[in-house]
Structure formats: C-alpha cells, structure tokens
C-alpha cells in the first residue's frame, strides 16, 4: 500500500502540471494533424462553448472517443493559454 502523500503546491491542485502538459501535447498533436479542428475549437470557445461540450459533440458526431478526448484537451490548453 502506498502511504506517500501527494505534493501540494500553494494554489495548485495535485497533478495540475501533468494535466497541463497532457493538454499541451494534445494541442500540439491536433495542430499537426488536424489544424482545421483547432481553428473550429478556437471559434467554439470564443462563442462560450465549454471543453466538455466539445468532447461530447465530437464523440456524438464521430464515435471516436480518443479524438473527442484530444479535442477537449486541446480546448483546455487553449483556455489555459488565454488566461496567461
């Protein structure tokens, strides 16, 4: 049994840095393979659509769960970059 406690950084949830890195990876992957999707995701975010809504939309329309997750992570990355 693992008894180690997670490392906490003030103002940051555990694993935020890893989540940000994964989101950035999905963004980079999408920019290379699906640049039109990235543009569409940017437009959707600008209209107030949430990353989770983007994931559901992509999955509903394609049935491709992995692509839907990548789209959501890309959206999360774009939101994070806008905040900085």
> How do residues 64-84 score in pLDDT, each as one tens digit?
999 999 999 999 999 999 988
Q: Which of 82, 55, 49, 81 is nearest to 68 (CA)?
A: 55
Mean pLDDT of 1-11: 50
What CA–CA distance (Å, rounded) separates 51 from 69? 9
For the chain, how far is it from start to end, CA to CA, in angstroms? 39
Nearby residues of 53 by Cβ (< 8 Å), 6 or more positions away:
44
For the question of whether the overall pTM of this predicted structure is more than 0.85, the answer is: no
* Residue 64 pLDDT: 98
């Amino acid at each position: 049994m693992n008894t180690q406690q997670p490392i906490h950084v003030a103002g940051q949830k555990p694993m935020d840095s890893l989540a940000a890195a994964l989101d950035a990876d999905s963004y980079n992957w999408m920019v290379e393979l699906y640049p039109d999707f990235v543009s569409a995701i940017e437009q959707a975010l600008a209209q107030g659509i949430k990353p989770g809504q983007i994931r559901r939309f992509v999955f509903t329309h394609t049935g491709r769960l992995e692509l839907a997750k990548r789209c959501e992570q890309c959206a999360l990355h774009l939101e994070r970059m806008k905040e900085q």
